[in-house]
Amino acid sequence: MTIRLGANCYGKAECRLVRVDRDGPQHRLTDLTVSTSLAGRLDATHLTGDNTDVLPTDTQKNTVYAFARQGIASIERFGLDLARHFVSGPIEQARVTVEWHPWQRLGEHSFARRGDETRLATVTADAERAWVVGGLTGLVLMNTTDSEFRGFARDRYTTLPEAADRILATAVDARWRFDGLDADWDEAYDTVHAALVDAFTQTYSRSLQQTLYAMGERVLERVPQVAEVRLALPNRHHFLVDLSPFGLDNPGEVYFAADRPYGLIEATVLRDGATPAGLAWEWAGR
């Protein structure tokens, strides 16, 4: 029997980082969670315990904070700078994942945390090139009409009635891969965000799958630098409550919001002829 070491990596997970830019009376707040992961010629540490080529995860954490001192123009650029820094010698590939937690401005130096929506960026680099994957999670959307679900397959276990008019709600988890490194990262994020919201609100939905495709298609139409979009849309079910035991009708007004189980719709929408993904998706987690 032959035993060998397979793919491996290591890094520092979830470094919490808050930077305050104090230029002028109106401060700027950047709240991030940064994770690093390195891979390469690291067999020795696994097989013999020789740590000669192991850059400590504590050093990776310190590097994150040191680079933050130089300023954070965008999370994509910040991730690119870090990933390229780590690729050296035995470290052949580096991945940096950055989560940006938004705060709402209340005054010149006062802020309030803004919901669960989080902006994401995952940057993967080797000695020759780099890939950038943008993303977001926790974007909660709802349409209270213009959604149906009919004509679906049935078998002996099907009990679901057809719905000619239903609530459609989801919490968007999206990743989009850039075809190159020349994007205006902040503008691209704002455009993708708007495209996702517009497509959701403007699409008459006959299935959540149809809505997902419309959202991915809208992103590719509006942001030419994006090669493909991967979306995961949980169907946050809302069930009409039966009020008849209380002598009341319910003309589509009172619902029970179920948290689980839920339908989960996932798909990729991609542009023909785009540069192959390389390591981007393999390391991006989606």
CA neighbor of 38 nearest in space, from 101, 102, 103, 123: 123
Is 61 one of the annotated active-site residues of the chain? no
- 103 bridge partner residues: 113
Q: Which residue has the tokens 């590097």?
A: 63
Q: Which of 12, 61, 101, 193 is catalytic?
A: 12
DSSP 204: P
Residue 129: which H helix or E strand, with range? Answer: none
Determine whether 26 is exposed, middle or buried from the number of CB atoms within 10 Å of its CB (0-12, 13-18, 19+): exposed
Is 12 one of the annotated active-site residues of the chain? yes
Could you give the CA distance from residue 5 to residue 52 in angstroms, rounded to a whole number?
18
- 256 bridge partner residues: 239
CA neighbor of 180 nearest in space, from 120, 130, 219: 130
Could you give the CA distance from residue 237 to residue 149 in angstroms, rounded to a whole number?
12
Determine phi and psi for 233, rounding to 5 degrees: -120, 105
Q: How many residues are recorded in the chain?
A: 286
Q: Which of 33, 57, 137, 268 is catalytic?
A: 57
- Assigned token pair, 40: 């390469």
Residues serving a catalytic function are 12, 57, 237
